[in-house]
Amino acid sequence: MTDAAALPGQPRGGVISGPATARARCVLAPNPSPMTLDGTNTWIIAEPDSDLAVVIDPGPLDEAHLQAVIDTAAQAGKRIGLTLLTHHHADHAEGAGRFAELTRTAVRALDPALSLGGEGLAAGDVITTGGLELRVVPTPGHTADSLCFHLPADGAVLTGDTILGRGTTMVAHPDGRLGDYLDSLRRLRSLTVDDGVSTVLPGHGPVLNDAQGAVEFYLAHRAHRLAQVETAVESGHRTPAEVVANVYAEVDRSLWPAAEMSVRAQLEYLGEHGLI
C-alpha cells in the first residue's frame, strides 16, 4: 500500500466527515460512486465565534443528507445564513433548491440560473456572512461555471471538482475546456505561492495538506496526458474512443465515458494549438 503522505497533495488520513480546519467542517453525502469517490463533500464554513454559517455544495437531493447538514451546523451552535455552489453538476447542486427551502437562505452561484433569492457570483466577490472572508475564484475548465472559494484565515481553498482529494478530475467537454482548466490550475498555484494557501478542501475525497504539491501534480498530469494523446493520434488513433482505449487502457472501464470527455477536450486543445 502506498503511504498517503507520499501521494501528491498529501491526502489527510482518517474519516472524511468532520472538522477540517478551524472554520471548515465536512458532511459527506451518501452518494459514493466511481465518479464521486466516497461521495460529495458538503462544506459548512463559519467563524468560530459566529452563530451564522455558509454551506458550500449541499449535494444531491437527499432529504436525510440535507437535514444532516442542518443538524451538524446546529450542534455547533450555528444556523445556515447562505448557500454557495461551486458548479452546476447534480451531485453538488441538485439539493440546493430544497436546502434553500429548509434553511430559508439564498443560493448563490456563478450561473444566475442556479441562484435563488440572491445575486450571482463573480470574480473578486467576497462573502462576509457571519464575519467570514470567503473570496470567489473563478476556475472554469471542469465546467464553464466552476468556482473555487479562498478561505484566507485558514490558508485553505475549497475546490469543488477542480482539484479532488484523490485521483484527477475530468474536463467535461464541451462545457469544459482544457485551456481554461490549465489557466485555472495556474491561478490556484498562484494562491499557493503568493497567498499562503496550503490546504485543499475538495468536493470529493480527503483533505489535501499540500496544496502546491497537488496543483503541480495536476499540471504535470495534464501535460503527460496531452503528450500521450498527441502520440496516440500520430500513431493512427483518430476517434476519441480509439484514443481512450489506447491512452486510458489502465483506467477502470466504468470511467471511460468521463475519460472520453477529457480526450475530446484534449483533442480540441491540440487542434487549436496546431499540434495535431
Output the nine-digit C-alpha cell for 249. Answer: 487502457
Q: What is the DSSP letter of 18?
A: E
d(Cα 7, Cα 225) in Å, to the nearest integer?
A: 19
Alpha carbon separation from 74 to 49, 52, 103, 246 (Å, rounded): 14, 10, 11, 51
d(Cα 159, Cα 257) in Å, to the nearest integer?
A: 23
Annotated catalytic residue within 62, 91, 175, 210: 91
d(Cα 240, Cα 259) in Å, to the nearest integer?
A: 9
User: What residues contact residue 47 under an 8 Å CB cut-off, 6+ apart?
Assistant: 23, 130, 131, 132
d(Cα 10, Cα 206) in Å, to the nearest integer?
A: 9
* β-pairing verdict for 199-202 and 156-160: parallel
Helix then strand then coil, in percent of the chain rounded to 5, is 40, 20, 45
Is 91 one of the annotated active-site residues of the chain? yes
Catalytic positions are 91
